[in-house]
Amino acid sequence: MAAESSPAGTADQHPFDLATAVRGGPERFTAEVDPGWTVAGRPNGGYLLALVTRAALEAVGQPHPLAVSAHFLAPAEPGAAELEARRLRAGGRLSTARVTLVQQGQARLEALVTAGRIDPDAAPGWRRAGGPAGLPPVEACVPARPELPGGMRANLLDHIDLRIDPATAGWAAGRPGGRLEVRGWVRFSDGRPPDPLALLQVVDALPPSSFDLGLPSWAPTVELTVYLRGLPAPGWLACVVTGQLWQGGWFDEDAEVWDAAGNLVAQSRQFAGARTPADDARPRP
Amino acid sequence: MAAESSPAGTADQHPFDLATAVRGGPERFTAEVDPGWTVAGRPNGGYLLALVTRAALEAVGQPHPLAVSAHFLAPAEPGAAELEARRLRAGGRLSTARVTLVQQGQARLEALVTAGRIDPDAAPGWRRAGGPAGLPPVEACVPARPELPGGMRANLLDHIDLRIDPATAGWAAGRPGGRLEVRGWVRFSDGRPPDPLALLQVVDALPPSSFDLGLPSWAPTVELTVYLRGLPAPGWLACVVTGQLWQGGWFDEDAEVWDAAGNLVAQSRQFAGARTPADDARPRP
């Protein structure tokens, strides 16, 4: 593939950088939603978050996202997209932009992005935990396969090397753990080093924790917020996903991402839907 | 005070309902930011969230917020405000609106609100915890006073009855616990029963957990996201606030709100600033 200039200043043209490239700006960008970053044909939410955040960073001229909040309005599709960006705050240490991802005239996703500069030398002033809780070493974890139950496919896993803690992988064999909990190690398959944009992808790269409750249907994300806490060291990322409550067809899911140096580099929370087969068969009020 | 019609359909004219009233619509509302819901002269973030969410609910015609994400762009002030609302998704079980709070031509806060109907009879399909962790009974907690260290005043506490767990109130006597942790009981002083709008206020009603680290300066919120998980029973609300990491001048803060029946009714997370006096004296790069 020929080298091409990237408006976002990404020197390396790894698949992730190509798949999240945006062109144009400063208020209207175009992008191609890449079919390689989908699950069951739908673009992954974390991938879309990285895409819209690249437009936001360009719109405000800041290097790093700090807090990204997205509401998913309608399923996105592989193919052409427009990104409408609006700078809401400029100057000082922080800038904020709103970005709307539009396909075929319909808003699919809207995000608010507050951005700034993450100090590469920042060290914890205080932290609750010193590392990911209860995650066995990479070698003891189970490689995730792109083939999903029900004949679906996670193309995303062609690009992401994911190793799942066997204690939270029972759902794949019909023995869910019953706890809204999935843990694993994540890295790009091609060796691209992690950065804050990659962390936006990583927080949503594990299977939905609702699988661990034995809810096999897909779990559409309604809202996803990510805080970027540090620049990740090269290497594997540990991702610990837990939820508090599944009620009325909705569940919450937190992800903590720890880098190879043992630092917390991202926190996310999402609000998503998970219904039982009985729910889906019942007529909706 | 004369009864007045409320466009949001609130029958009771409690101070909270009056202070969060919005007029006009469907795309442009006016409101008065009330000086009674401030801390150190600045409108409380949770109060502002309730205000903009009322506009969002009107804009989309739904009864309850489900997920609310706000980015704080500039400090708001008591006085007149305009709320610009835009419906992003309509119909079906969920609706989404964007609301921008504008004062004197400047955007102070932008929020995305996904709304729907919370089933009053929903029961947990699964939950991690059966109630708030480690909170002593109301009678064993310490009433919070509106007078703050440094001569500041929390007018908010004229309206909110807050009782803080003594184990997390040491900062008030110069003995911070050192753990990004504050717990307490909350209710409206006038007996107004809690509802989802009230929960938006409650998640931000406790003192910043950075006080527990001995950081006495005010903690400006950058981002605040709230999920509404159930309709709260009447009575006291238990609020448990914890953070994971203070680094580079930023910290995260989670709040869980449990109702008097022991159900998790709201979850929030915010990204906020907390600097040491030494940070503030140092010239910024």
* Among B residues 102-131, those touching chain A with beta carbons less than 8 Å apart: 107, 110, 112, 114, 118-119, 122-129
Å from B262 to nearest chain A CA?
Answer: 13
Q: Span A127-132, mean pLDDT? A: 93
In contact, A226 and A267? CB cutoff 8 Å: yes
| Per-residue CA distances from B259 to A254, B131, B273 (Å) | 22, 9, 29
Nearest CA in chain A to B75: A89
Distance CA A253, CA A245 (A): 9
B210 touches chain A (CB under 8 A): no
- Percent of chain B beyond pLDDT 70? 93
Contact in structure between B183 and B134 (CB atoms under 8 Å): yes
Q: Which residue of A has its CA nearest to B119?
A: A248
pLDDT digits (tens, 9 = 90+) for A72-107: 999 999 999 999 999 999 878 999 999 999 999 999
Q: How far apart are CA A33 and CA A56, in angstroms?
A: 16
- Residue B29 is classified by DSSP as E
Dist CA B10 CA B19 (whole Å): 12
User: What is the Cα–Cα distance from A72 to A65, expressed in whole angstroms?
Assistant: 19
Strands (E) in A105-197, as ranges, are 106-116, 124-127, 142-143, 160-164, 181-188
The pLDDT mean for chain A works out to 92
Chain A contact present for B247, CB below 8 A: yes
pLDDT at B282: 55
Query: Closest partner residue to A247 among B96, B230, B246, by Cβ?
Result: B230
Q: Is the per-residue pLDDT at B10 higher than 60? A: no
* Nearest CA among A19, A16, A21, A31 for reference residue A83: A31
ipTM: 0.94
Q: Tell me: the pLDDT tens digits for A214-273?
A: 987 778 999 999 999 999 999 999 999 999 999 999 999 999 999 999 999 999 999 999
pLDDT at B225 (0 to 100): 98
Q: Which residue has the tokens 């610009």?
A: B84
What digits encode the pLDDT tens for the residues A26-35? 999 999 999 9
> What pLDDT is stored for residue A134 in this prediction?
84
Strands B106-116 and B95-103, sheet pairing: antiparallel
Q: Judge whether B284 is closer than 8 Å to chain A, CB to CB.
A: yes
